[in-house]
Amino acid sequence: MMNDITTPDNPNSRCGFVAIVGRPNVGKSTLLNHILGQKLSITSRKPQTTRHQVLGIKTEGDVQAIYVDTPGMHEEEPRAINRYMNKAATSALVDVDVVVFVVDQLNWTTADEMVLEKLERVKCPVILAINKVDKLEKRELMLPHLESLAAKRDFAEIIPLSALRETNLEPLEEAVGRFLPQSVHFYPDDQITDRSQRFMASEMVREKITRQLGAELPYSVAVEIEEFKQQGKTLHISALILVERDGQRKIIIGDKGARLRQIGQEARIDMERMFDTKVMLKLWVKVKRGWADSDRALKSLGMNDL
């Protein structure tokens, strides 16, 4: 995080960090993507899709909000990859100016309670965002639910919304802007993330794997970008897909390579849209046993930035 930011000449200029937190699969990444107006964090219906902190930068006039999309917080940490994701989520709460705590409509679980406990040490304003209200069948249950949530903590705001349908996102952004400190903007007004294009390319491949394979494959998949080179009008990208077992490798490759080709085609379309250039994408699948259980393997994959 950035410190010692001097007060700008423009008293209306505001800037700060906003952590988006919550248990897995409540819609944190979808919320960030729709606030930004473009895909930045990968999404799927599968919990625990997000592994890294991803900064999404939204500049609207005098206000620059730097959103930190975090992995969902886990109640248990049996594997190194789960410990890493919990650490990533918890560290995002350090030195932020606002927290957006996302929950799923009327559902309140022990995992939500665990996140709330972690927020007890947070001194900045905490906005409670009740997501997926468009799926609510009995709307009369919302008011008593709001009252019960309000009793759990002195939230700065409680905002029902639908990230997917972009319902009530404006009140959320307005509330965030009010709580950000007076400051110069940390990033150029047209920048939307701090992540490299190589990182975004690896996440696009991982998203297509997660979306296509769903329950067929556990979370033992990582993607390394081995080549990222612009040659003329074409961006050449080579990606290595790592799995833990031979059976997983066969699942990703599919019958005569059909599944791998489909993953590559869908990822390439997203890459061409984001990078605004023709992309030549090559994918390989390799077995690397035990990487999700090994702290050393996680560091070799770049998951040591905390």
Residue 22 assigned to a binding site: yes
The enclosing domain of 250 has a CATH number of 3.30.300.20
Q: Is 232 annotated as a binding residue?
A: no
Q: What is the pTM of this model?
A: 0.69
User: Pick from 179, 214, 235: which residue ends a domain?
Assistant: 179
Which of 119, 145, 179 delimits the end of a domain? 179
* 191 occurs within a structural domain: no
- Angle of the 197-213 helix axis to the 246-253 helix axis, nearest 10: 90
CA 81/CA 62 separation, integer angstroms: 39
What per-residue string of b and e applies to 275-304 under the rule 16 or more CB within 10 Å gives b? beeebebebebeebeebbebeebbeebebe
Instruction: Determine if residue 69 is labeled as part of a ligand binding site.
Output: yes
Is 70 annotated as a binding-site member? Answer: yes
Q: Is 125 annotated as a binding residue?
A: no
Residue 37 annotated as part of some ligand binding site: no
Q: Are residues 56 and 159 in the same domain?
A: yes
> For every one of its 306 residues, what pLDDT tens digit does the chain have, with 9 covering 90 and above?
444 444 446 778 999 999 999 988 889 889 998 999 877 776 655 444 444 567 899 999 999 999 988 766 645 555 554 554 555 555 667 788 999 999 999 999 999 999 999 898 888 999 999 999 998 888 888 899 999 999 999 999 999 999 999 999 999 999 999 999 999 999 999 899 888 899 889 989 988 998 888 666 655 688 899 999 999 999 999 999 988 888 999 999 999 999 999 999 999 999 999 899 999 999 999 998 765 555 544 454 455 444
Residues 150 and 231 in one domain: no
Check the annotation: does 131 bind a ligand. Answer: yes
- 264/242 Cα distance (integer angstroms): 15
202 belongs to an annotated ligand binding site = no
CB atoms within 10 A of CB 28: 31
Q: In this structure, is residue 6 part of a structural domain?
A: no
Q: Is 177 annotated as a binding residue?
A: no
- Containing domain of residue 91, as a range? 14-179
305 labelled binding-site residue: no
* 26 and 131 Cβ atoms separated by less than 8 Å: yes
Is 134 one of the annotated binding-site residues?
Answer: yes
Residue 25 labelled as part of a binding site:
yes
10 is in an annotated binding site: no
Same domain, 81 and 225: no
> Do 25 and 94 fall into the same domain?
yes
Whether residue 95 is annotated as binding a ligand: the answer is: no
- Asked if 151 and 206 sit in the same domain, the reply is no
Domain count, the chain: 2
In a domain, 3, yes or no: no
**Is 11 marked as a binding-site residue?**
no
